[in-house]
Structure 1
Amino acid sequence: KFGALWFLITLLPTSSFIPLKQLATEHRTYLPGLGFSLILGWMFLNIKNCQTAAKVLFLIFILLSSTLTLNRSLDFRSEVSLWKDTSQKSPRKALVHNNLATAYMAIDQLQKAKDALKTALTINPSQIDSYVNLGHIAGREKNWEQAIEKFDLGISLGTKKSDTFYYSGFARNNLGRYEEAIPYFEKAISLQPFKADYYFDLGNSYRHLKLFDNALHHFRKTLEIEPNHYKAHNNMGTIFWVLGATDQARVAFENVLSIKPYIPAIHNNLAAIHIKKGDYKKAIPHLEKLISLQPENINAQKL
């Protein structure tokens, strides 16, 4: 009785009247399986008149279960093998093919990922995640126009994922469409306001549009979330340099070096600032470091 009650009670929360996206999934049976095992054990122990037959049946059951378990464990060798097996057993489920594509993307097998996503969209043309994943693949291939098309399809179908808006803006930034990118970054921030890169790339849009106050504001927001975001420090230094605020530029570039001490451009910038101020002694260590990092840099050698 205990085994039967355990089986029913542990199965009810995931397989009863509550609507589920997936009708049946393997992991829901793991905990109820303990009750099933108890029932089987009780049955074998209570076959009093046929002890030999019970033992034989028990051994057959153990061997069969072990064989099936070993065979199933082979599917768990990797994400790809697991989802390939699942797609073969459930070939009409778009989500399964999308997850197989995600597994392929994780190991950079992009063509196989595309094929799996096309299958998913053939089954369900409204599968949002499949369009978004096609956008990510296009982004990896630097095909920014196609990336925008796929991300925007996901958005038009009603995605609520902040990353989709972010990457749609990111693709636009890569095409130099900075003003167009701004609303996408702002939407991403409204959905997930604690991601440093959202503010950073929004700041980049404003920087390229020469709206420096807005850019600095968003770079500072980036640093509130991630103080060691060296690219934000660097971009602030670049803006201060353009504005002629050399002291503030120096502080920003020195912040970069405290995080990433081996970036040649930063040593070059700091050397230029010190030379501009006539402080040649402070410029020399940066020039020496620049030459050690870039021995072919003729300008640094001349200075």
Structure 2
Amino acid sequence: MDLIQQGLEAMKQNKLDEAAAKFNQFVEENPEDPVGYINFGNLLIHIKEFDRATRFFNKALSLDESLPTAHYGLGNVYFEQEDYAEATQQYQKAIKEGLDEADVYLMLGMSLMNQEQPKLALPYLQRASELDSDDVEIQFQYGLSLAYANLIEEAFKQFNHVLSLDENHSDAHYNLGVTFLYKEQPHEALKHFDRALDIQPDHLLAGNGKKQVEELLHNQ
């Protein structure tokens, strides 16, 4: 097992100091290989040393500016710092350079959602959902983008799909409740708000939705 693999294994086991030592040794022995800088950069994101991570990804790109994983890593740095416009640019570059994985489409979609551009986010989140149909978070984010784009029937189906993967997903129950309100089925909406609160008693949005529906039904 080479140093990079040893470092990745150490990261999986949360042995971060050991991982850092392996990546550092690789960089020292292979200073012209960008792979070491990328993996070290990913570790630095994990421990929230964003300035150092940026330097490592930029060093990788100075060795090979077409590396999609370096652009993806840099995008993650900006995303973690809530600089969604810069994150968007880096994720787009990663895709342009050939990265075709669910995670990059997810992160690009979420960057656009955070810039209140759901219609632009939609195709990227759809692509992510196609690439990983069993990832609950990806499927949920795709559902959100459909809802924000006012594609209510499609969002309804998507949130049901999320619940088929995880029946205890409180946010999916809440959002399914909202789609039932759009469909003018308040009793069904109330069931899902209640279910969200059963799973997560401090779910403020579900609590507020439940209160509003109960007032609506009381006044009918």
Q: What TM-score do the two structures reach when normalised by structure 2?
A: 0.87
Residues 226 and 105 of structure 1: CA distance in aligned 2, closer, same or farther (over 3 Å): same
Alignment partner of 2:150 out of 210, 235, 249: 210
Alignment partner of 1:266 out of 179, 202, 206: 206
Match for residue 64 of structure 2?
A: 124
Aligned equivalents of 2:208, 2:174: Cα separation in 1? 12
Aligned equivalents of 2:82, 2:30: Cα separation in 1? 33
Question: SS of the residue aligned with 1:78?
Answer: helix
Match for residue 97 of structure 1?
A: 37
- Greater relative contact order (Cα 8 A, min sep 6): structure 1 or 2? 2
CA deviation string 1:88-139 (max 9, x = no partner): 2221110001011011111000110000111111111121111001111111
Residues 27 and 195 of structure 1: CA distance in aligned 2, closer, same or farther (over 3 Å): closer
Residues 278 and 77 of structure 1: CA distance in aligned 2, closer, same or farther (over 3 Å): closer
Match for residue 107 of structure 1?
A: 47
Residues 76 and 90 of structure 1: CA distance in aligned 2, closer, same or farther (over 3 Å): farther
Alignment partner of 2:77 out of 87, 112, 137: 137
Q: How many residues align?
A: 210
Matches within 5 A, 1:146-161: 146-161=86-101
* 131-140 vs 257-266, greater mean Cα deviation: 257-266
Aligned equivalents of 2:4, 2:110: Cα separation in 1? 37
Displacement after TM superposition at 1:26 (Å): 5.4
Match for residue 2 of structure 2?
A: 25
Displacement after TM superposition at 1:277 (Å): 2.2
Q: Which runs of 5+ in 2 are unaligned?
A: 6-14
**2:176–2:189 contact (8 Å) kept in structure 1:** yes
Residues 26 and 146 of structure 1: CA distance in aligned 2, closer, same or farther (over 3 Å): closer
The answer to whether residue 163 in structure 2 is matched with residue 186 in structure 1 is no
Residues 153 and 250 of structure 1: CA distance in aligned 2, closer, same or farther (over 3 Å): same
Aligned equivalents of 1:218, 1:174: Cα separation in 2? 20
AA partner of residue 120 (structure 2): E
The answer to whether residue 207 in structure 2 is matched with residue 230 in structure 1 is no
Aligned equivalents of 1:82, 1:27: Cα separation in 2? 7
Q: Which runs of 5+ in 1 are unaligned?
A: 1-23, 29-74, 280-303
**1:76–1:82 contact (8 Å) kept in structure 2:** no
CA RMSD of aligned residues (A): 2.2
Matches within 5 A, 1:277-292: 277-278=217-218
Residues 26 and 195 of structure 1: CA distance in aligned 2, closer, same or farther (over 3 Å): closer
Aligned equivalents of 2:122, 2:46: Cα separation in 1? 29
Aligned equivalents of 1:202, 1:193: Cα separation in 2? 11
Match for residue 177 of structure 1?
A: 117
* 256-265 vs 270-279, greater mean Cα deviation: 270-279
